[in-house]
Amino acid sequence: MYTIPIMISSAQCILISTLLLLAPAPAVGSAARPKLPTRPRIGGTFIQYQDWMMSLDSAAWLCELDAMRDAGINLVIIQWLEHENKRFIPADPAACDPARIILEYADEHGMRVYLGLSTIDRWHERITHPRYLDRAATQSLRLADQAWARYGRHPSFAGWYIPQELRYYEFKPEFVSLLRGFLRRQSDHCRAISGGKPVAIAPSLAQCPSPEAFRKLFADLLAGSGVEILILQDGVGANRREKLMDSNVVPYFRAMQDVCGEAEIEIWSDIEIFRYCPSGRGREPASVERILEQIDAEAPFVSSFVMFDFFHYMSPCRGEEQKRLFEDYLRATADSSGASH
């Protein structure tokens, strides 16, 4: 509830009206989740490299990074440095290297950067094949060594990210053990070469039949995996879970909070800030009202927020729709007093 002073200026009237309009309406059943006194801001973002992005020059990347800082972002997770045989580390050290630009900027501005490793194709199809997992892990270990050799001197290099997306599978116990070993092999290696920097993963809610099934699988999978940070994708954009968030999102975050607590793993939220266009022409930025509802629903269960992703859906450098969301988000979170997660 907002308390309005008796004497206010016209500028204050505009600000108060904006905040009232942007405040999300209470969701049905919202009493099932605790409330926080102050809404946290989203403190991080993924960057998902694509081929065309490698042609951006240093000025374009600085535009992106300045905008991120304006939005309160102090953590960048580069999703992958190699994706299905497409490499995003230039062979020529003198060439424009986005990861180097990001790290140098982060060094200067007190930000943190996590570097993602390698993926190979047909992950979900071949996840139970031992030879496939061995090849995928070997490729990531090689890339980790190269990334550390090139970028390890940067103070902002704060951690690692394993980019293979985990979701619900009806696994036999031996396959759970196999996948746990896949994670452990990478996490052990990354910590060993970097002096103990943490390792993160970001599972998805896709295809999960129930929170209890989700809880059971990840309790088995994470114990002994070596993972220290779990960034749970909320599925609100990709899996269209925006309706009935208290039943479609909250129970899974509560289940994962329990699992991570038992495994001594830190849990963050990966807030999807996009939606599918009604016209069917792909994805577009979500409304700020929906993003605020996601924050409110997930905040009681996580210690930090990361968005997917600022570059494509909120950057004012990218287009008018992204600029509109950027400006709406800044206005809507101006009362958070810098309470970034």
Tokens of 6: 């008796």
Nearest Cα residue to 76 out of 104, 37, 45 = 45
- Nearest to 161, CA basis, from 226, 208, 101, 114: 114
Length of the chain equals: 341
Distance between CA 163 and CA 238 in Å, rounded?
A: 17
CB 330 within 8 A of CB 288: no
Query: Which tokens in the block code for residue 1?
Result: 């509830």
Helix (H, G, I), strand (E, B) or coil at 291: helix
> Structure pTM?
0.87
CA distances from residue 104 to 32, 50, 58, 99 in whole angstroms, order as listed: 44, 21, 11, 9
Contact 179, 170 (CB under 8 A): no
The per-residue DSSP string of 11-33 comes to: HHHHHHHHHHHHSPPPPTTGGGS
Q: Structure tokens of 80?
A: 């992958």
Per residue of the chain (341 residues), what is the pLDDT tens digit?
323 232 333 333 333 333 333 444 443 333 455 565 578 999 999 999 999 999 999 999 999 999 999 999 999 999 999 999 899 999 988 899 999 999 999 999 999 999 999 999 999 899 999 999 999 999 999 999 999 999 999 999 999 999 999 999 888 888 999 999 999 999 999 999 999 999 999 999 988 889 999 999 999 999 999 999 999 999 999 887 777 788 889 999 999 999 999 999 999 999 999 999 877 778 999 999 999 999 999 999 999 999 999 999 999 999 999 999 999 999 999 876 445 55
Q: Which residues pair with 113 in a beta bridge?
A: 76, 157
Helix, strand and coil content of the chain, in percent to the nearest 5, comes to 45, 15, 40
Give the angle 80-110-270 at the CA atoms, nearest 5°.
Answer: 45
What H or E segment, with its residue span, contains residue 308? strand 305-308
Q: What structural domains does the chain harbor?
A: 40-336 (3.20.20.80)
